[in-house]
Structure 1
Amino acid sequence: MIKFLILILGLVFAGTPNNQKKVLVLSDNPAIYVSHSQFFNLLNKSFRVDYKNIQSNTFNLQLFGEWQYDHLVLFSTTNDLKVSTQELLDFYDSGRNILLLGSTDQSKYFRKFLNSFGLDMHEYGSSVVDYFNNIKGNQNIVTTSNVNILKVDKPVAHQGAGLAMTPYETFQVYGLVRGSETAFSGPNLSHNIIYVGATQGRNNARFVATGSWEILSDEFLNNSNLGNFELAQEIILWGFGQSKILKAENLIHRRLDSDDIKPYNYRLREDCYFSIDIFEWDHQKDKWVPYVSTDNDVILEFVMLDPYYRLPLKKGDGAKYELQFKIPDVYGVFQFKINYLKPGYTFLKIAEKITVRPFRHDEYGRYLVQAFPYYFSSFGTMAGFVVFLIAFLLNK
């Protein structure tokens, strides 16, 4: 019997990939494991999950200089976390992802931490109210269809506090789920109310925050008329780096009339060919697939201090984006640059340095069209001198 159990356990663990990412869930409320069971089921399908009390000393984010987890889920409370906010920020700066489920009575510790990502929680004890978009006339359980970046087809329900972007909002801060035009929370206007906010760092680490726990609770996730279940799936996929992930490879540049790839230098006014392959991660197929940009927004910059060219790359076969252009009539050190910052997608920053040289003395044309006036004037002067000489000698 014991051997049979060992065999069964061996088969179970053999089916679990060794490279599965680890998630740490921190909360001091045991009731959430019942009220949010659907959310935790989604987490357990894709990750190895550790559950710890927020006040516990039995976990380490970092041990001997190595991060022990890939992602972090925080259920904010009135209690502070044992680790410092700086350690959490270091965790994020290392390229790892954080999901924070907020609440109206969360401590200053969590409010300060949230503010580090360009987001603010509304006032203590506040709650979003909507008299027009709600469930069964309960103005405190509001709904909205204003979802960005994430793919959610049904209205999303929310109960609790809202978020707002700080005044120094940048292109890296997103309102994933925003309140409807009729929603309000105390003195905050509707366009400032965010139910789910996010920040993506320049290192492509992602931080997602919700205004309340309830948005991912079983009460809303089990309601087939709402899109909260889809939202939970999308938050896990996007927030933990499984969707809208881009990578670029196979960068090629060459002279148009040559097969020599990535030459060290180009000559003025040469025709140049540039191409690069861009892929997007498909979590359903579990592989990289060609990325298709529908906005024609993959831009190549040809830069020396300032861009001389900004040219959209054309979609080629497969994952290829390509372009032909003429090297400018300026010599120096240039760079091929792609700085792709599409909202919701990981950032692509690519640079390749090359040199543009002037013509060598033996590369200039023998006769230049623009010099024809000088040619005519020179030969005209010689012809005039001969005519004058003949006329002078004959008349003497």
Structure 2
Amino acid sequence: MSKLEILYVFLSLSFIPLLCTSFSSDTPSERRVLVLLDDFALKSSHSLFFNSLHSRGFDLDFKLADDPKIAIQRYGQYLYDALILICPTVERFGGSIDAAAILDFVDSGHDLIVAADSNASDLIRTIATESGVDFDEDPEALVVDHSGYAVSGTEGDHTLIASDDFVKSDAILGNKRIEAILFQGIGHSLNPSNSLVLKVLSASPSAYSANPKSKLTSPPSLTGSTISLVSVIQARNNARILISGSVSLFSNRFFRSSVQKAGNPTKHDKSGNEQFLTELSKWVFHERGHLKAVNVQHHKIGEADEPAMYRINDDLEYSVEIYEWSGITWEPYVADDVQVQFYMMSPYVLKTLSTDGKGRYFTSFKVPDVYGVFQFKIEYQKLGHTTLSLSKQIPVRPFRHNEYERFIPAAYPYYGAAFSMVRISLPISLDRDNI
């Protein structure tokens, strides 16, 4: 074998791993995550959070936020499936990344976690604002709570808060009890015009946002339960975003600390931070609440094949299978609020689907007495779940001329009138013939 042939074989074999990688199956658990940090020291001080992600199969790539070699896409293809920003002070990202690139990353269906604090730069604030979250404009403001603070040896200005006002959603936070969360950082409000953003952890009614080192000369701009400590956004393309006003929320120190809320004699040996962020990160990275619909079918009752069109007043059956990703496998999704519309300009039929408890949803109904181009539509939106938007077009025709009943009961009076006219006109025509 010549040297040229040996080189050709070597190159061919070297490309096999690339081809295998390119055509590997893509599931919600097999994902690469880029983690941008202010300082590599955060990698060790927040290691419990990162280890939780790594243990669930995520491949974490740590880089400094200002690294000039950073790139999130190459040749038009994204290199990562999710992005974590724990770099509140960065004024400008390295490489080709900027705020617009990160928002395009989300618009392409990828997930994002942003952790900020009182040192949050304009860049981080811009990303949050574009996501529907507005941090307090005062750069020195912190969330203060003189009633719901965490009891500690150095209570000080009561900026260390013990909060347990969680969103009530098992899909987002699981169904296990979570102890109070230790939080120290800045608060934010939600843009009222953005219906996609949701508070996951709220401040207590006694909290407010202000500079704890100076006296209040005017009412705080953020007060009470309107202050969000941690928020999430699910975009219309089902991309998910988590925004926190505290970097310490993710730290090993807060994960391992005991917690006691002021006014509550019970002291817990461990805060709920680790459980809270573990469950919340499962939702953000689509390990929970991620739905898919398959095997959409419709046909006439008594038949098995899908017709090219229906006729008015036909009886039909409709079915679909819906599954939820558990983090390991697709499992049947069970609910009693999935509905299908038979739609043309507006819903002519709206039916709640029955389920067999194994993922299959089904119903039957009569085609309305209206012909045109209809759609089977499912628009399923439920808190904490990805949106299912299904549509399938089908024409509906009227009766053909030979498909109508020969004698319609409602027309009997007209039949009688016609025959009566025949009997009256017959003698008149005979008289004219005689003339």
Report the TM-score, using the length of structure 2 for normalisation: 0.79
Identical positions, percent? 34
Partner of 2:247: 213
Partner of 2:199: 175
Deviation at 1:133, TM superposition (A): 2.0
2:353 to 302, 307, 313: 313
1:112 aligns with 2:129: no
1:217 maps to amino acid: S
CA distance in 2, matches of 1:167, 1:267: 46
Higher deviation after alignment, 247-256 or 182-191: 182-191
Residues 1:377 and 1:143: Cα distance change in structure 2 (over 3 Å): farther
CA distance in 2, matches of 1:344, 1:190: 25
Note the alpha carbon deviations across 1:75-130, whole angstroms, 9 max, x for none. 13222222211111121122111110111221111111111111111231211122
User: Matched residue of 1:38: which SS?
Assistant: helix
* 4+ aligned runs moved over 6 Å, structure 1: 383-386
1:100 aligns with 2:114: yes
Partner of 1:289: 331
CA distance in 1, matches of 2:366, 2:145: 57
CA distance in 2, matches of 1:300, 1:189: 42
1:36 aligns with 2:46: yes
Partner of 1:231: 276
**Aligned residue runs from structure 1 range 24-173, under 5 A:** 24-45=34-55, 46-80=57-91, 81-82=93-94, 83-123=97-137, 124-136=139-151, 138=155, 139-148=158-167, 149-151=172-174, 153-154=177-178, 155-170=180-195, 172-173=196-197
Partner of 1:356: 396
User: Matched residue of 2:112: which SS?
Assistant: strand
CA distance in 1, matches of 2:396, 2:370: 7
Deviation at 1:336, TM superposition (A): 0.5
Partner of 1:11: none
Higher deviation after alignment, 124-133 or 208-217: 124-133
The aligned length equals 367
CA distance in 1, matches of 2:409, 2:275: 67
Higher deviation after alignment, 77-86 or 100-109: 77-86
Cα RMSD (Å) = 2.2
1:298 aligns with 2:309: no
Which structure 1 residue ranges, 5 or more long, are not aligned?
1-16
User: Matched residue of 1:25: which SS?
Assistant: strand
Partner of 2:311: 267
CA contact (8 A) 2:293 2:323 kept: yes
Note the alpha carbon deviations across 1:286-340, whole angstroms, 9 max, x for none. 11111012xx321211111222222221223511111111111111001111111
User: Matched residue of 1:371: which SS?
Assistant: helix
CA distance in 2, matches of 1:66, 1:385: 85
User: Matched residue of 2:375: which SS?
Assistant: strand
User: Matched residue of 1:23: which SS?
Assistant: strand
CA distance in 2, matches of 1:206, 1:18: 22
Deviation at 1:134, TM superposition (A): 2.4
Higher deviation after alignment, 145-154 or 252-261: 145-154
Higher deviation after alignment, 310-319 or 336-345: 310-319
Higher deviation after alignment, 75-84 or 264-273: 75-84
Residues 1:368 and 1:30: Cα distance change in structure 2 (over 3 Å): same
1:78 maps to amino acid: T
CA distance in 1, matches of 2:342, 2:78: 39
User: Matched residue of 1:242: which SS?
Assistant: coil
1:92 maps to amino acid: V
